[in-house]
A and B are shown apart, each in its own frame.
Chain A
């Protein structure tokens, strides 16, 4: 039973390009969460999605960032027109309903570097 799969593991983008980060949840998990970790900091919540629905996006920057979790396929975190400040590790986690009660599982993260 594979865990949460994130790809790519490392992603380098030039300023102004688009970054697409993918997250395949654990089998049977219908809830996905995205977190961002800046260097030497803890993880910061970005967005919580269920299949085809955004439940809470209170941590998402207002511009350039979007997330989706379609009926089929992985969840995607999309960053348009990347800037140097977007350089960070982006983590995805998945869970069944009531994630904190039943347990989150984190992926290994995608490290985005903007040059």
Chain B
């Protein structure tokens, strides 16, 4: 069975600061994807960034980057130059390449960016 754990229920930083959200996961599979999703108050689930497990290079998308440590099963999200619009719930998710294409989500981290 696959599990995803986010150990920080809430975080709060000042605008323009850098913040890192933690995520650990467990799976016995070797081929999988990892994702970070953002859920603002509108409830829409927005894909922030994706990492293929077979790639050693960490994924980046503008101000968002990940630190993927496969041996440690760790997948943290770094947000640089944080903006007020980054305020949201952030969910880490694991998806197996084989099979039902389903995602296993962590419990989420509520991130607040203060002006």
Is B truly associated with A?
yes
Give A56's nearest chain B residue, CB to CB.
Answer: B100
A98–B43 touching, CB < 8 Å: no
CB-based nearest B residue for A97:
B101
- Min distance, Cβ B36 to any Cβ of chain A, angstroms: 12
Check if A45 sits within 8 Å of B44, measured CB to CB.
Answer: no
A50 smallest CB distance to B (angstroms):
11
Bound form: Cα–Cα A35–B99 in Å: 17
Expressed in whole angstroms, the minimum distance between the Cβ of B22 and any Cβ of chain A is 15
B47:A48 contact, CB within 8 angstroms: no
User: Given known contacts A89-B43, A91-B45, is B97 in contact with A44 (CB within 8 Å)?
Assistant: no
User: Which B residues have a C-beta under 8 Å from some C-beta of A?
Assistant: 4, 33, 42-47, 91, 93, 95-97, 99-108
Known: A41-B108, A99-B101, A100-B96. 14 other contacts (CB 8 A): A42-B106, A43-B93, A44-B105, A45-B104, A48-B101, A55-B100, A59-B102, A100-B33, A100-B97, A100-B101, A100-B103, A101-B33, A108-B44, A109-B45
16 contacts between A and B (CB under 8 A): A33-B101, A40-B108, A42-B93, A42-B105, A42-B106, A43-B103, A45-B103, A48-B101, A48-B102, A58-B100, A98-B101, A101-B33, A101-B97, A106-B44, A109-B45, A111-B43
